Amino acid sequence: MKEIKIHEVGLRDGLQMEPESIPTITKIQWAESLIDSGIDILQLGSFVNPKVLIQMADTDELFEHFNQPENKPKNTILSALILNEKGLERAMKANVDMICLGVSASETHSQKNTRMSVQQASEKIINIAKDAISAKKQVQASVQSAFGCGFEGDIPEENVYTIIDKYLNAGIKIISLADTAGYANPAKVERMFSKIAQMDNNIELACHFHNTYGLGIANVYAAYKVGVKYIESAFGGLGGCPFTKVAAGNVSTEDILTMFQEMGIRKDINIKKIKSVSLYAEGFLMKELPSYTYKNNGIKH
């Protein structure tokens, strides 16, 4: 069985579309349950302008809490998303374990998300990544809209490989393909990740799928088959990029784990604890979440 790592992004990607701010104490309670479940990486938030994304206004406070010796997770890496130099400065001050950043392969999405061209964004993000690597931080770089764009449609695969080649030349070894618009399909997932795996012997691959057209879990399985190690997902299937045309939720963490555990993989992670967060979030947000597993009170989980 291939090794996989679960990277839970619900507290960041999952909440960034919500119109009202979630109290910090509630986020801490959710984070504690997710950590107790045994997941490998937890994304606490993003260091962005709180006026743009109010849900991320307390990211510094969350890291301050979980960096206290009595609260520091023993077996879970804490990650955060950054977009610029100011974000890196805040992430370094907050002692983030893993720094995540990315560039869109779509010119339209790049402009809407960062107000920069793909070339400009690539140069900026790579320079930031180099600084983070120099500071001995674990760094993951993604290519957003890697499988297609809600505004532009298909994105030439060579555009994605060009960005990844720049990442590798900068010394970045954890590379993620993010299906921001939900355009991926299993055949394309297998083809692109297989191609990327051949670009560097030391590369570690990550995937991030949205469930826009219901193909999310099929795409996760396709990625797993070709050796993708890090799988990003969100409790309850929450989420969506506010800068894409159709914002759909992430693939549900508990649904992914149900699939893998039925296959005999990662049975060490406690799905019940993740389901408890989804149920809490459903009541708090007063809406049904797209996950299937958290609604199932059967004997399996």
Mind telling me the catalytic residues? 241
Nearest to 243 by CA among 121, 106, 39, 139: 106
Q: What is the rounded distance in angstroms from the CA atom of residue 142 to the CA atom of residue 196?
A: 12
In angstroms and rounded to an integer, the radius of gyration of the C-alpha atoms of the chain is 18
3-state secondary structure of 239: coil
Q: What is the rounded distance in angstroms from the CA atom of residue 301 to the CA atom of residue 297?
A: 7
Name the phi and psi angles at 77, rounded to 5: -80, 135
DSSP assignment of 218-238: HHHHHHHHTT--EEEEBGGG-
3-state secondary structure of 178: strand
CB of 103 closer than 8 Å to CB of 143: yes
Widest pairwise Cα distance in the chain: 52
Locus of tokens 């929450």: 238
99, 105, 109, 111 alpha-carbon torsion, rounded to 10°: 80
Q: What is the rounded distance in angstroms from the CA atom of residue 62 to the CA atom of residue 44?
A: 7
Q: What is the rounded distance in angstroms from the CA atom of residue 51 to the CA atom of residue 75?
A: 33
Nearest to 251 by CA among 215, 287, 197, 294: 215
Q: CA 161 → CA 81, 269, 297, distances in Å?
A: 22, 33, 43
DSSP class of residue 55 equals: G
